[in-house]
Chain A
Amino acid sequence: MKIVNILCVFICFNYLHLCFLNILQKQYYSLKRLFIYLTQNKYLQYEIIISVFIILSIFLKIQIISFILALCFYFFIFKDKLIKFKITKRIIRNILVFNVILPILFIFDFCKATLMFYFFFIISFLISLLIEKIIQKRYINQAKCKLKNIKPLIIVITGSYGKTTTKNFIYEMLNKDYRVCITKSSYNTLNGILITINNDLKPFHEILLLEIGLDKKNGIKKFEKIINADIGLVTKIGKQHLSTFKTFNNIINEKNKLFGLIKEKGCAILNIDDKNINNPNLKVINKTISTNKKANYYIDNIEYDEQETRFLLHMEMKEYQCKTYLHGNHNLSNLLLSIAVADILNVNHSYIIQKIASLENIEHRLSYKKQNNWLIIDDSYNSNYEGFLSSCDLLSKMKNYKILISPGLIESTLTNKEKDIMYKKINVSCDLFCIIEKNDFFKDYPFENQRRFNSFKECIEYLNRNYYEIKASILIENDLPDIFIK
């Protein structure tokens, strides 16, 4: 009987543990966020009911039955939690640690043990966190050693958005003259950077191009020990991750601390269009860029059309007439940042101009696609307010029928005033606004050009039925599944 009990607890605990890990994974491995999630979704209330139920069953001596009932109950409330579960090394580590400490449980009585799940869950999580810290320490040392050995020129990029795009632009600009090691896709956490340094950085690399994501206060501290950069740039400061930063001022301070990573006589590139960016590090040389006023690198005479953007580029003293396939103001300032880096590193000017004309946007980041009568502008990776407005600007410049599809921004806290500006902009820039009601973001959109859909599929079906013959420009915004366009 005892063995059956033990086995039951073992299975039940592991099942519960998996469910919790899954939720934890989606809450970015933060216990605090997990707790908030559980209370918000009334899991804790369920938990209390189950606990009371179990305690009652101790007195009634119907342990097995109660146990099975509890299991069913757990299964019922968590049954959708195991879908889309990503098994990572961290999860495996957690499971292992959990199962190693689980036998301690059996010094307790079976029923009391059932109540101790949370204790075990937290302990095992903390232990595996400790293990991770130790492993990370080793990786940090390895990375430091490697950087000391290879001595590449380091370029660091941060900002609220546009990091990856800028990084790719810089890579394109430098790739011919230098051997550049680059962080893969959007690896921008400390671990991602350590992986890049330890695995991808080879002795022949001359430049190490790092994208640094800062999503909480004092997040930069971890990087200070490892990175001693030559060039640093902040793309733009927006209100991303406001929930972890608490105040907008904190974000500004934190992002500007990036310039502190630059070593003496290094170079900081400042986007003076953004008033929030300023360099507190006095030991470095400042270079400025701008899309609308005079700076070290700036552009004017900007002309848009459906295909390309033309502008006059001023690089220090020289002027060049350029054209590019890139669109949107935010993209131009990203482009300017990369031009500045290329010029500082002595890339041939004619090569820079040539590259500007050939750079293209990455898919889902404001990329163009022709489909029958439609011109589809895919900006579905975008998830920030400024980017949204700038894309709307772009749409409004189109000459044919204008359609905007969006489910709204995720993870953002806009003030009512900002939302108002956004609504007005949408109203001006498009003829039809398709709202996908995935979240309640556009719930109070007041204007009449809207149409609401439950899913993206529904929306596309509707467009296919009614707008197939019409020449239209369709802008797709914000985090949509990317299966739709064929």
Chain B
Amino acid sequence: MNNIILIFGGDSVEHEISIITALQIFKQYNGKYNLIPIYLKKSKFYFISSMEISTFKNFKYKNEVQFEANQNYFKLHHKKINFLGVWIVSHGKKCEDGSIYSYFNILNIPVISQDQYVSAICHDKELAKKIGKITTLPYFSLFRNDIDNKLDEIIKKANKIGYPLIIKPCRLGSSVGIKKVNNSNELVDKIKETLYLDNKIIVEKYLNNFEELNIAILKNKAKYLYSEIEKIKKGSILSYNDKYMNSSKSMIKEEKELPAVINEILRNEIIKKSIELCTNLNTSGVVRIDYLYDKDKKKLYFNEINNIPGSLAYYLFDKVNIKINDLIDIIIDNGLEEIENNKMLIENYKDNVLKGTNNSVKLFK
């Protein structure tokens, strides 16, 4: 009766992280909802009967599931399985950016997630900075065409910020494709290289001496709850390899400090800014916000916001006494409530455009 579908996987670079997140959720959760794992791979949905890592190591494409429009159930071996809603926990492009949300939205199946607007804004590193109204490092963004048309302008902008710079694909999750540019000679080449990954690129100031501070924010009944802050100690920006490939055991290997040892003023600043950001973006569910702290200038910069954070950032909430069970219950409760509220919205206005159009109106020439 309380079935919730857990959608994970997806065809992004963070596909495996999503599997780990789903496994963590599935193994540790025993709350009031019954989670049904559905794996998204190569644009198809598969029902997973045994949630083990080995299942995904060599995945057999079995138990495909089809979702039908307007139906709150799917069929598995001719058996109907009802569900209350679909909950998305897959990361990266085509998942986290609101695509899956939109897919189910069109099918008129209730989805528990950020809606497509918030997802898209959070996913786009530039939009999040612009719309979130929050202090950031100096940056500029460019599209694929700009490299041919406005090359001079780009170099001018880059010079203005000053080298070294960081180049990131604007809409790719994790730390994929992040490059450091030391001087103007490298700039164009590296930009072109990055354009293989994404059509939009963001160029940012490089910090020499910094710490990364992360906080997670959870929405509960029109209120935002904050988690503990964690500090990631590393002198330079992480590459995808650093972050995930080297680790043999867990996905989080970097030197972490949890709870972060920071002074009270900074702590309060982070909490205040984060809640402000979430209010501005109107996020729902859980998000993780990453900040960069410049140790030299003692200044805090917003780096990025993750609308479906890895592991749901449960390890951060654990420290403020929101256990994973409560966390998931809160997310699903609020998601379902939002769905109910959305149902109340008036969607169909009776219009008489077609009725009023008489035959004499020429629709086509």
Contacts and interface: CB of A to CB of B under 8 A. Distances in A.
Interface of A: 145-146, 149-150, 176-177, 179, 202-204
A291 B333 CA distance: 39
B221 interface: yes
Nearest to A146: B1
A383 B358 CA distance: 51
B333 A203 contact: yes
Interface in B125-139: none
B33 interface: yes
Given A146-B1, A149-B32, A203-B84, A177 B221 contact: yes
B221 A179 contact: yes
B36 to A, nearest CB: 15
A204 B336 contact: yes
Interface string B27-42: 0000011000000000
B152 interface: no
A145 B2 CA distance: 12
B84 to A, nearest CB: 7
Contacts of B222: 176
16 contacts: A145-B1, A146-B1, A149-B32, A150-B32, A176-B221, A177-B221, A179-B333, A179-B337, A202-B84, A202-B340, A203-B33, A203-B333, A203-B336, A204-B333, A204-B336, A204-B337
Interface string B331-344: 01110110010000
Contacts of A177: 221
B1 A204 contact: no
B178 to A, nearest CB: 39
Nearest to B336: A204
A204 B2 contact: no
Given A176-B222, A203-B332, 6 more contacts: A145-B1, A149-B2, A149-B32, A150-B32, A179-B221, A203-B84
Interface residues of B, number: 13
Contacts of A204: 332-334, 336-337
Interface string B2-30: 10000000000000000000000000000
Contacts of A145: 1
A181 to B, nearest CB: 10
B330 to A, nearest CB: 9
A264 to B, nearest CB: 24
Nearest to A179: B337
Interface in B50-89: 84
A149 to B, nearest CB: 6
A177 B333 CA distance: 14
Contacts of A150: 32
Contacts of A203: 2, 32-33, 84, 332-333, 336
A392 to B, nearest CB: 38
Nearest to A206: B333
A176 B337 CA distance: 13
Contacts of B340: 202
Contacts of A202: 84, 336-337, 340
A455 B333 CA distance: 52
A225 B33 CA distance: 26
4 closest residue pairs by CB, A with B: A204-B333, A204-B336, A203-B2, A204-B337
B307 to A, nearest CB: 21
A153 to B, nearest CB: 15
Contacts of A146: 1
B333 to A, nearest CB: 4
Nearest to A200: B340
A199 to B, nearest CB: 12
Contacts of B333: 179, 203-204
Nearest to B1: A149
A179 B221 CA distance: 8
A321 to B, nearest CB: 28
Nearest to B335: A204
Nearest to B337: A204
Contacts of B32: 149-150, 203
